Amino acid sequence: MEIERDTFWNISSDAQIVFYILAGMSIIAFLYGFYRRYRLWNKGQREKVEWKHVKDNIGYFFQFAIRQTKVQKDRMPGVMHKLVAYGFIVLFIGTVLVFIDEDFKIPILQGGFYLVYELVLDLFGIAFLVGLAGFLLIRGGNFRKRLLRGKMDYLFLILLFVIGVGGYIAEGIRLSETKVDYAHWSPVGYVLSLLFNESRVFKGDTYLFWWLTHSILAFILIAITPFTKLFHLFTAPLNLLLSPVKRSGDFQVESAMKDGTQRRRNVSHIYDFTNLQLLSTDACTECGRCDHVCPANLSGKDLAPRNIVMKIRDNMQENGPISSFISAEELKQCTSCGACVEACPVSINHIDLILSMRRGALPDKLLNPHAGEAMVNLEQDENIWGAPWSEREDWAKGLNIPVLRDTENPRKEA
Ligand code: SF4
Ligand code: SF4
């Protein structure tokens, strides 16, 4: 028996046409969604992508995206994330190979390679499903308070899970009908094929329904990705590679712009952010790790770094004033401690975003106007009262305040 993949087993040519039309539509929707966000990033100030940063970032990319070291700090969700991410990547590569084999007529999926391919995809598919089930359990059981529990958060996980299960069902039916002697190379599909032998629901006649349902759900997933938080699958790696990684305490005040100039990071309206800052907000996975370590947030203040990032992301459609969606209080409450930056698995720099907004949106609200005046007086006359320098001690007259220079041992007096 020849060993090769029969991608369209038991699928009529009409159904194949429907498949390709739907595939084309989902890819167009994906590309449109990607382009839409790309256009919005570029409405920001055009920061220059420094290739030396990209070179430095390759190490961080390996550390944070491939080894997922930051995600692993929280053990249980970290393991689940690894299973889902690695499973997804392998299944994605597997789909690309099918595409090359079937549509470019380059025969890759044959012989021994095809058997190993089936085995690897089956095992990583199981890892993918276990990871998703774990995520659903952690979220549903509220085992991590930092995780959001909206309807959409569950819907994405369930959609991915159903797509994964649908793939196994289609495989199980195919193997139970074709009875190829290498079926055991797909262990999960093989076990299902044995269970399906006597089934009336999972058989050759219903294969089209299961196969098409699986395909349509996968196309829906592709189409909605750039419009949902799943977009981080693409933007997080981009951000990790392109954004200059700054350690805590490194407060960058200026950016090198594409036109060769330096620009102060002052943000009063949304498009005052640079394109890389806007891109970084699209990388947010909404994991809440930043909130979980933020001292302001933990002490019950309004500031939640995740909200700051999400509000910028969700208000990117038009050049609205920052004050219309982020309050002065939130910005003032940040202590610039950097805990959020250290915790963020996708290298979002919250301090950079917050300080840029403080500089641009709040200079008048951060300082009491009298304090600003005092600073100017101090700079000009070395007297905060705005009087000549020689009168700067007059305010203390009659108050019996000791003056250090008049004492014999100023250090002791102090
Ligand atoms: S830098 Fe600001 S936002 Fe980030 S953890 Fe510290 S206080 Fe919170
Ligand atoms: S900003 Fe980073 S740490 Fe915070 S929720 Fe988004 S991805 Fe998670």
Residue 261 lies in a domain: no
- Indicate whether 218 and 338 sit together in one domain: no
Count of C-beta atoms within a 10 Å radius of residue 200: 8
- Ligand 2 pocket by C-beta < 6 Å: which residues? 284-290, 305-306, 309, 343-344, 346, 348
Q: Which of the ligands is closest to the CA of residue 307?
A: 2
The C-alpha angle 75, 78, 82, rounded to 5 degrees, equals: 140
Beta-carbon-side half-sphere exposure of residue 413 (alpha carbons within 13 Å): 10
Pick from 411, 235, 265: which is nearest to 351 by CA? 265
Question: How far is Cα of residue 308 from the mean position of the Cα atoms in its chain?
Answer: 14
- Indicate whether 324 and 182 sit together in one domain: no
- Indicate whether 119 and 198 sit together in one domain: yes
pLDDT tens track for 46-57: 998 888 888 888
Q: Is 294 in the pocket of ligand 1 (CB under 6 A)?
A: yes
d(C-alpha 329, C-alpha 239), whole Å: 28
- Provide the H-helix boundaries in 303-362: 305-314, 328-332, 339-343, 350-361
Distance 336 CA to ligand 1 centre (A): 5
Residue 254 lies in a domain: no
- Indicate whether 105 and 196 sit together in one domain: yes
Nearest CA to ligand 2 atom 2: 344
Count of C-beta atoms within a 10 Å radius of residue 31: 11
- Indicate whether 130 and 149 sit together in one domain: yes
Pocket test for ligand 1, best of 303, 312, 358 (most atoms within 8 A of CB): 303
- Indicate whether 30 and 139 sit together in one domain: yes
Give me the pLDDT at residue 320, please. Answer: 94
Give me the pLDDT at residue 360, please. Answer: 86
Q: Which atom of ligand 1 is nearest to the CA of 305?
A: 3
Give me the pLDDT at residue 168, please. Answer: 97
d(C-alpha 223, C-alpha 17), whole Å: 19
Distance 294 CA to ligand 1 centre (A): 5
Pocket test for ligand 1, best of 348, 351, 352, 357 (most atoms within 8 A of CB): 351
Residue 260 lies in a domain: no
Helix (H) or strand (E) holding 208, with range, is: helix 207-224
- Indicate whether 96 and 193 sit together in one domain: yes
Whose tokens are 């409450």? That residue is 333
In 134-232, DSSP assigns E strands to none
**Given phi > 0 = left and psi -120 to 50 = alpha, else beta, which region is 288?**
left
- Indicate whether 175 and 282 sit together in one domain: no
Q: Is 338 in the pocket of ligand 1 (CB under 6 A)?
A: yes
Give me the pLDDT at residue 1, please. Answer: 67
d(C-alpha 362, C-alpha 328), whole Å: 7
- Indicate whether 159 and 81 sit together in one domain: yes
Whose tokens are 């199980």? That residue is 172
Distance 64 CA to ligand 1 centre (A): 21
Residue at a domain's end among 200, 227, 254: 227
User: Where in the sequence is the domain holding 404, given as residue range(s)?
Assistant: 369-413
Tens digits of pLDDT across the chain (414 residues)? 689 999 999 999 999 999 999 999 999 999 999 999 999 999 999 998 888 888 888 988 999 889 999 999 999 999 999 999 999 999 999 999 999 999 999 999 999 999 999 999 999 999 999 999 999 999 999 999 999 999 999 999 999 999 999 999 999 999 999 999 999 999 999 999 999 998 999 999 999 999 999 999 999 999 999 999 999 999 999 999 988 765 555 677 777 787 888 877 889 999 999 999 999 999 999 999 999 999 999 999 999 999 999 999 999 999 999 999 999 999 999 999 999 999 999 999 999 999 999 988 776 665 666 777 887 888 888 888 888 888 888 888 888 887 777 666 655 554
- Indicate whether 207 and 306 sit together in one domain: no
Q: Is 331 in the pocket of ligand 1 (CB under 6 A)?
A: no
Q: How many domains does the chain have?
A: 3
Residue 322 lies in a domain: yes
Q: What is the CATH number of the domain that holds 25?
A: 1.20.950
> Contact 124/86 with Cβ under 8 angstroms?
yes
Residue 1 lies in a domain: no
d(C-alpha 278, C-alpha 75), whole Å: 30
Distance 314 CA to ligand 2 centre (A): 14
Residue 148 lies in a domain: yes
Three-class SS state of 256: strand
Residue 65 lies in a domain: no
Residue 258 lies in a domain: no
Q: Is 348 in the pocket of ligand 1 (CB under 6 A)?
A: no
Q: Is 199 in the pocket of ligand 1 (CB under 6 A)?
A: no
What would the two tokens of residue 92 be?
Answer: 């994605």
Taking each helix axis from N to C terminus, what angle separates 305-314 and 275-282, rounded to the nearest 10 degrees? Answer: 110
- Indicate whether 115 and 199 sit together in one domain: yes
Q: What is the CATH number of the domain that holds 283?
A: 1.10.1060.10
> Contact 34/225 with Cβ under 8 angstroms?
no
- Indicate whether 283 and 302 sit together in one domain: yes
d(C-alpha 203, C-alpha 190), whole Å: 14
Residue at a domain's end among 362, 383, 399: 362
Residue at a domain's end among 340, 362, 384: 362
Q: Is 339 in the pocket of ligand 1 (CB under 6 A)?
A: yes
Distance 126 CA to ligand 2 centre (A): 27
Distance 390 CA to ligand 2 centre (A): 54
